[in-house]
Amino acid sequence: MKLVPSSKRPCRLERGEVRRVPQDRTNLLVGYHVCCPRCGFNTPALAGHDDVNIAEGDEPDDLTFSKALRCTFCGVLMHVRHGELRLEEDADVRHISFR
């Protein structure tokens, strides 16, 4: 799925949306808030934390993480490459159902 850059507050992000911190691309990158498409939980991706390097292209939606980001809530692995998000389930994924 294609990631959708957003300027919404992190608590208002919808599934598949990302928000840069800080939003002004002329400032040094701190990280991104990524809204998990599987469960809708907001997971932070901090540049340099846990060996995650974040590469930004010329366009706001051209984003690449050097390794998969694990969703804080459901545990799914989110692979981000050139703005495309791919989910991977492994043994650590929590199976959640919303009723």
Residue by residue, pLDDT tens for the chain (99 residues) are 999 999 999 999 999 999 999 999 889 999 999 999 999 999 999 999 999 999 999 998 899 999 999 999 999 999 999 999 999 999 989 887 666
Question: CB under 8 Å to 27, separation ≥6 — which residues?
Answer: none
pLDDT of residue 42: 96
Residue 98 located in a structural domain: no
pLDDT of residue 45: 96
Residue 97 located in a structural domain: no
Residue with tokens 């703005």: 83
Structural domains in the chain (count): 1
Distance CA 32, CA 99 (A): 30
Residue 96 located in a structural domain: no
Task: Give residue 77's domain range.
Answer: 4-88
pLDDT of residue 17: 97
pTM above threshold 0.85: yes
Residue 94 located in a structural domain: no
